[in-house]
Structure 1
């Protein structure tokens, strides 16, 4: 069913839509969620990665050495991570256990 929809879509017509037309179509569709800004998408991805880990904000911040206030600001979209923090978060998202092990001080439990 998905393959048929992709095959039958007029991609040239889709590519020709302006941002205003896309926004109007989204607003007119009761089943569509709101269009998210890049900052909102980053905040949602971070919340999702943390929740998938099963950790609270406090536990996640402690495990990955991120100030709790900074994590909260990122998750709530009040502040955006800089390029280095985004790269670090991407690594945590893909390899959380590797990062956690790498951050353990020698002679201390994880």
Structure 2
């Protein structure tokens, strides 16, 4: 099936319309874990410990062996937007 044939097939299905450029523009993407970690200036070990993420899981995400699930993507979004609040929330109560 050519690209044109796929597009025609998709456009003929009212329940599976292709996304437009405007749709893509309004979608918010979760930054990759590596980008978040580097923006915070943390090593893999520091990031994993600070945010309670298993180091193997973080490495798998960063090396493309696996993708974060929906809950992990949400967590990464929160880390990206409010890292200090997440760190504070995860600290044990004194």
Give TM-score scaled by structure 2 length. 0.66
Please say if 1:94 is aligned against 2:94: no
Which consecutive residues of structure 1, in runs of 5 or more, have no partner in the other structure?
A: 1-17, 20-40
Alignment partner of 2:72 out of 81, 85, 102: 85
> RMSD across aligned C-alpha pairs, in angstroms?
2.0
Which consecutive residues of structure 2, in runs of 5 or more, have no partner in the other structure?
A: 5-28
Aligned to 2:12: none
Instruction: Please report how far the alpha carbon of residue 48 of structure 1 lies from its aligned counterpart in structure 2 after TM superposition.
Output: 1.1
Instruction: Please report how far the alpha carbon of residue 68 of structure 1 lies from its aligned counterpart in structure 2 after TM superposition.
Output: 0.1
Residue correspondences, number: 68
Instruction: Please report how far the alpha carbon of residue 62 of structure 1 lies from its aligned counterpart in structure 2 after TM superposition.
Output: 0.2
Tell me: higher relative CO, structure 1 or 2? Use CA pairs within 8 A at least 6 residues apart. 2
Distance in 1, matches of 2:42 and 2:69, equals 23
Aligned-partner SS, 1:77: coil
Query: 1:64-90 CA distances to partner (integer Å, 9 max, x unpaired)?
Result: 000000000001110011100000000
Give TM-score scaled by structure 1 length. 0.57
Larger Rg: 1
